[in-house]
A = this chain, B = another copy of it.
Amino acid sequence: MISFALLLFIPLSLALKYLVGAGPIWLFLTGVVAVAILADWVRRATEQLAERAGSAVGGLLNVSFGSIAELVLALFVLAHGEADVVKAQITGSIIGTSLLGLGLAMLVGGLWRERQSFNRANTGLLSTLLILVVVALLLPAMFDIQAHTGMANTDAVDERLSIGASIVLLGLYGANLIFTLVTHRGVFAGDEPSGNSAWSLARSLTVLIVGTIFIAAESELVSDAVEATATLLQVSQAFLGVIVLALVGTSADLFAAVAFARQDRMSIVFSICIGSAIQMALVVAPILVLASWAIGHPMNLVFNPLELFAIAGAAFIVRAISADGETNWFEGMLLIGVYLLFGLAFYFVGA
């Protein structure tokens, strides 16, 4: 019932925009709430379809539509030429799921339990891919430092390297899908949540398609309002991107993670949170680079030092915490504390 009622945010935000002509803060706020709600619906439709389709096609569906809200939102922001805000959004999404999401889940799940266990074999792959994410996202920045000292037109080679790196990353992610869904699917099978009540095929497809269309409409509205909202709230656009826009796309994952943690199903929690961070870096970011090049607002993968540090710091602390196969409330608190530290830094950079 609640999730149906929340859908009222969609006409509300559209009405504020086109009928009332409300100020940008109202449009921004109602828009981001609407996107978050739609992302949750699309996530559920994808799950329903995935259960019908079997693990291979289902896995592919999850990959394609699991981050569709982040992708659409980022594309609209990119179309406004705000490549820096998109990079902030990617960063924020990675640390939002792997620090805040995972931390909240561990904290809530650990409050009434001495410890919670998870399957180390399955999280091992995720943990390794996190290191790939760090290497892949640091590379263009290191290249940029190096290139600056030796040549004139850095931007052009930054762009070429980013496109080349994006293709390699998409290839590696493709190989990862073949690995987890085809050649080694037995090892990774038990990972997915088992659905309790199935939707009809028609209903799933309708929610998926209509949801995605409305996400686009709301994303346009949000991306229009970002600049004015940042000015009015006296924060930087990058801060809005890294904290607010990033959490909009991933809030559905956050709620799902906390729910699974309360049921003591920590392997799924890791799958959702770390899987989402990995998909952001290895799928969404490369697609955005290629798309940006196509739509004429080129975005490279040169993240700034603070963003890179946040991503690398998140990866290393998640790896440290997950090494022993157990979690507890303090480890959750620690992840949230690190998220808070990064949040402070992003806030003061813009101040």
A residues whose Cβ falls under 8 Å from a Cβ of B: 114, 120-121, 124, 127-128, 131-132, 134-136, 138-139, 142-143, 145-147, 150, 157, 160-161, 164-165, 168-169, 171-172, 175-176, 178-179, 183-184, 304-306, 309, 313, 316-317, 319-321, 323-324, 328-331, 333-334, 337-338, 340-342, 344-345, 348-349, 351
What are 17 A-B pairs at a CB distance below 8 A? A120-B324, A128-B331, A128-B334, A132-B337, A138-B309, A139-B313, A139-B341, A142-B306, A143-B345, A147-B348, A168-B337, A168-B341, A172-B333, A175-B330, A175-B333, A175-B334, A323-B323
Contact A349 B172 (CB under 8 A): no
Number of copies: 3
B residues near A344, Cβ cutoff 8 Å: 161, 164-165, 168
Chain B minimum-CB-distance residue to A333: B175
Contact B165 A320 (CB under 8 A): no
Contact A132 B334 (CB under 8 A): yes
B residues near A143, Cβ cutoff 8 Å: 306, 345, 348-349
- Contact partner, A341, options B120, B135, B183, B341, Cβ 8 Å: B135
Chain B minimum-CB-distance residue to A314: B135
The distance in angstroms between the C-alpha atoms of A321 and B323, with both chains bound, is 13
Contact A317 B128 (CB under 8 A): yes
Q: Which of A136, A320, A351 has the most CB of B within 10 A?
A: A320
8 more CB-based (< 8 A) A-B contacts, given A114-B184, A146-B345, A175-B337:
A128-B321, A150-B349, A164-B344, A165-B341, A165-B344, A168-B337, A183-B329, A183-B330
Contact B341 A179 (CB under 8 A): no
In order of increasing CB-CB distance, the 9 nearest A-B pairs are A179-B330, A146-B306, A142-B309, A135-B313, A128-B320, A172-B337, A131-B320, A143-B345, A164-B344
Contact A305 B348 (CB under 8 A): no
B residues near A179, Cβ cutoff 8 Å: 328-330
Contact A348 B168 (CB under 8 A): no
The distance in angstroms between the C-alpha atoms of A313 and B179, with both chains bound, is 23
Query: In angstroms, how far is the closest chain B Cβ from the Cβ of A72?
Result: 28
The distance in angstroms between the C-alpha atoms of A161 and B150, with both chains bound, is 26
B residues near A328, Cβ cutoff 8 Å: 179, 184
- Contact partner, A304, options B134, B146, B169, Cβ 8 Å: B146
The distance in angstroms between the C-alpha atoms of A215 and B309, with both chains bound, is 39
The distance in angstroms between the C-alpha atoms of A348 and B165, with both chains bound, is 11
The distance in angstroms between the C-alpha atoms of A329 and B135, with both chains bound, is 20
The distance in angstroms between the C-alpha atoms of A316 and B315, with both chains bound, is 12
B residues near A341, Cβ cutoff 8 Å: 135-136, 139, 165, 168
The distance in angstroms between the C-alpha atoms of A127 and B331, with both chains bound, is 12
- Contact partner, A172, options B135, B161, B304, B334, Cβ 8 Å: B334
Chain B minimum-CB-distance residue to A163: B344
- Contact partner, A338, options B121, B135, B320, Cβ 8 Å: B135
Query: In angstroms, how far is the closest chain B Cβ from the Cβ of A44?
Result: 30
Contact A338 B132 (CB under 8 A): yes
- Contact partner, A348, options B120, B127, B161, Cβ 8 Å: B161
B residues near A331, Cβ cutoff 8 Å: 128
- Contact partner, A127, options B138, B145, B165, B320, Cβ 8 Å: B320
The distance in angstroms between the C-alpha atoms of A169 and B351, with both chains bound, is 22
The distance in angstroms between the C-alpha atoms of A176 and B328, with both chains bound, is 11
